[in-house]
Amino acid sequence: MSDNLQNSLLYKVKKPNDLRVLSDNQLDQVSRELRNEVIEVVSQTGGHLGSSLGVVELTVALHAVFNTPFDKLIWDVGHQCYPHKIITERRNFMSSLRQKGGISGFTKRSESEYDPFGAAHSSTSISAALGFTMARELGQPVGDTIAVIGDGSITAGMAYEALNNAGSENKRMFVILNDNEMSIAPPVGAMSSYLSTINSHQAFEKLKLFGEEIESHLPSTLREGARRARQLVTGRNQSTFFEDLGFNYLGPIDGHDMGQLLHVLRAAKFRSTGPTLIHVCTKKGHGYAPAENSADKYHGVSKFNIQTGQQSKAPANAPSYTSIFGKSLLEEAKLDTRVVGITAAMPSGTGINILANEFPERVFDVGIAEQHAVTFAAGLAAGGMKPFCAIYSTFLQRAYDQIVHDVALQNLPVRFAIDRAGLVGADGATHAGIFDISYMSNIPNMTVMAASDEAELVHMVRTAAEFDEGPIAFRYPRGNGTGIQLPQRGEILKIGKGRIVQEGEDLVIVSFGAHMNLVKDAEVALAKMGVSVTVADARFAKPLDVDLINQLMENHPCMLTVEQGSMGGFGSIVLQHVNKNRNRNKNLTFDSIFVADRFIDQADVNSMYEDAGLGINTIIDKSIQLVEQSNKTSKNFNFDDFKRDASNRT
């Protein structure tokens, strides 16, 4: 650690208690030093920089005013939690941020007592804070509860439900609305416009506080603004939306002015009796010019050069699956005016922006509202359009009832493009897309596909565009493709039909999805041991290609399925069919490889799959076990050398 840092105020702040003995000017200095340290850390680890830089002053002020961890500070999503982690006894672990064996990029209960509630998906903080509040009211040792939620997250339905419930309970709690007018993409919708209207003048001129007592505790420069705020912001006899829900409303205030923050937070803490919303205006990426000037404000970055802001990204050998989806969707949209795209606040993350650039009127960004996105897509389908609803696997979970009730029950042809399917790396368990095979395949009328490579993804986009018989889903992973040649336009796949990639005799491995490359590597290693392997690409989990499975059963002594999903998925579907058709091969030995039944912590993707039981060694070991158990062969395989020398495994 440098001498400058050891002599800094921040170095002396080991935990929030240390902030509470500092003067306001010293807290402002701590914020400046904290911002520099966040930049330094993320330049070495990568991560969510812009959102963290936007809340540095707010983080310091909240911990200085409130008695954490007895008071419960709950961050929504958690993208902005790096400054919080640094001043809550985790500074020495920040170099391991988002890495294998390191600390999480989000808040995590098991990591620190200062993280009372885990986060990574949006719009949960107010609900959780109300839960802590009511636990306190029922006698549990809980102090004040403070939920910090962004202007993007507060547009989600769950946030409205929580605000409504909290207003009706009328208990003391705090909601900090962190209004930076930008989530991952610029926020959309009526609430965003409403907040922008409130935030259209300087903070001093529109500060509105909820009583003369609090007003009297403000400095003179703020007091006049408080008196005039109702007229300036809402009209003399009108209330804000939040007040109509039962909240006291304070703000907007400048989230980068430590003096304002401390005065308002202290006034609220000592005078508030009911639910209070404090509207804080911040700038994403504040204090670091490359982030401030970037279109996405450095929302998520790889390692970068602090002086230039240049990110160090390894050159890609192939385009990303996401971009291939976006380009393929655009090709279909050019040929069919009924094709439209829907995203839930992730236009660039899902590739929908590629369609939006060409046909903006045929793309709908509904904000952080996955439930609405799915039912909206159902309405579009019922109205004769061909909607492609592009949502990350982990976020699509939030709309499960809408998939079942509004789409599948009515057999509406909504196309689900499921991005980030499988394990995803540094974001860890909260963003892992491992459940969609199970939860989509369980639904009647649903067709479920998985792309084994990027060319297959192109085929599946075309197939989905042409499929009008009901809902259809296709999944694909995060990251770059395999580098194979891509068709200009995809082929229309026959629904429910897989393909044989390679013929063999001793064992068949049936792969569903993007683990195909590793299956091929395992086949090469097994061939060196004398094991002749058939490799099949299922393409469909539902409807299952029963003719192909029957053929493979009859012609092989053992079968192994491989998928990048949880238990209860493709392997279970195949096993049910095998058990019902044992008469075709009563001696067939069968096994499945899927993601282990636990949450997999962050690491690089390959390490995560190893940890999850989906590494190449597992595939080879399972294959050997099946062959050894089989009574259908008298061949002598070269297993002994393989077992003695694991380095032979390619």
SS3 content of the chain, % helix, strand, coil (to 5): 45, 15, 40
Bridging pattern class, strands 499-502 and 533-537:
antiparallel
Helix axes 24-45, 258-271, angle to 10 degrees: 110
DSSP per-residue letters across 518-559: HHHHHHHHHHHTT--EEEEE--EEES--HHHHHHHHHH-SEE
What is residue 497's DSSP assignment? -
Residue 499, strand partner residues = 537
Q: What do you get for the CA distance between the two ends of the chain, in Å?
A: 41
Place of tokens 């959780």: 128
What is the Cα–Cα distance from 522 to 524, expressed in whole angstroms? 5
Residue type, 28: D
Establish whether 398 is a catalytic residue: yes
Q: What is the chain's alpha carbon radius of gyration, rounded to the nearest angstrom?
A: 27
Give which of 389, 279, 386 is closest to 336, Cα–Cα.
Answer: 386
Among residues 90, 91, 206, 284, which one is catalytic?
284
* Residues sharing a CB contact under 8 Å with residue 265, sequence separation 6 or more, in sequence order: 61, 62, 65, 66, 278
Among residues 398, 420, 475, 622, which one is catalytic?
398
CA angle 125, 130, 136 (to 5 degrees): 130
Establish whether 228 is a catalytic residue: no
Residue type, 447: T
What count of other Cβ atoms lies within 10 Å of the Cβ of residue 220? 6
**566 by DSSP, 3-state: which?**
coil
Residue type, 394: T
Establish whether 303 is a catalytic residue: no
C-alpha 59: how far from chain center = 23
Sheet holding 415-419, edge to edge: 363-365, 339-343, 386-392, 415-419, 472-475, 447-450, 540-542
Give which of 543, 623, 540, 552 is closest to 581, Cα–Cα.
Answer: 552
The answer to whether the CB of 546 falls within 8 A of the CB of 578 is: no
Sheet holding 533-537, edge to edge: 499-502, 533-537, 507-512, 558-563, 589-593
C-alpha 417: how far from chain center = 15
What is the Cα–Cα distance from 272 to 172, expressed in whole angstroms? 7
Among residues 33, 37, 332, 370, which one is catalytic?
370
DSSP per-residue letters across 240-272: -HHHHTT-EEEEEEETT-HHHHHHHHHHHHHH-
> Which residues are designated catalytic?
284, 370, 398
